[in-house]
Amino acid sequence: MINIVLFGKPGAGKGTQAEFLRIKYNLLHISTGDVFRYNIKNSTKLGELAKSFMDKGDLVPDNLTISMLENEVDKNTGVKGYIFDGFPRTINQAKALDKFLAKKNMHITTTIALEANDEELIIRLLNRGIIGGRLDDQDEEKIRNRFEEYNKKTSILKVYYENQKKFHSVNGIGEVGEVNNRLTSLIDKL
């Protein structure tokens, strides 16, 4: 079983690359963003709570995010592994994920950060906001707030996973196929 954590700032290409990895390695892709949107669209209790934070451009609190993720894993058993896209975002989430997976006799195989500069990402997100209609991608101030939250909370995951010898960084700029080749070359060596 292979379990991959794919992270990077909003717009770094996590969702796009996760779809390629899902197919190549026959994994289940769990995107916290998609899980949030599903719960919001269906007006679940967890979704309404998540929406109140997302509308402000803030990250959803750990306990709420963890509850949603555990529900998704529990609904999808019998797979060859998972790609966690957008989760964990904090040390507490990483520890909670490790503990949750250990209960199921699993562990994180590797973490991969897609790296890209802020200005490139802002352009990507604003375009995505126009094309996809996502409100959280249509306001540059909210986008920069999300980057700031990422820098404060998520970037410290690098040290957490480096200490476990599970952290890798991949350049997320370039054509989709180029970035995918970088990712698969790395994963195939593990």
CATH code of 30's domain: 3.40.50.300
Place 133 in a pLDDT band, splitting at 50, 70 and 90. Answer: confident
In a domain, residue 129? The reply is yes
User: Where is pLDDT greater, at 163 or 152?
Assistant: 163
Write a three-state SS string for 76-129: CCCCCEEEEECCCCCHHHHHHHHHHHHHCCCCCCEEEEEECCHHHHHHHHHHHH
Q: For residue 25, what pLDDT is reported? A: 94
- Rounded mean pLDDT, 117-124: 94
Token look-up 């707030």 returns: 145
Q: For residue 172, what pLDDT is reported? A: 94
Give the phi and the psi of residue 114 in degrees, each rounded to 5.
-85, 115
| Residue 102 clears pLDDT 80, i.e. is over it | yes
In a domain, residue 190? The reply is no
In a domain, residue 167? The reply is yes
Q: For residue 134, what pLDDT is reported? A: 82
- Rounded mean pLDDT, 137-166: 90
Number of domains forming the structure of the chain: 1
In a domain, residue 186? The reply is no
Q: For residue 95, what pLDDT is reported? A: 95
Q: Please give the Cα distance from 80 to 64 (Å, whole number).
A: 26
Q: For residue 54, what pLDDT is reported? A: 80
- Rounded mean pLDDT, 151-170: 91
In a domain, residue 145? The reply is yes
| Structural domain containing residue 48 | 2-175
Q: Please give the Cα distance from 127 to 138 (Å, whole number).
A: 8
pTM attached to this predicted model? 0.84
In a domain, residue 185? The reply is no
| Residue 59 clears pLDDT 80, i.e. is over it | no
In a domain, residue 188? The reply is no
In a domain, residue 119? The reply is yes
Mean pLDDT of the chain: 91
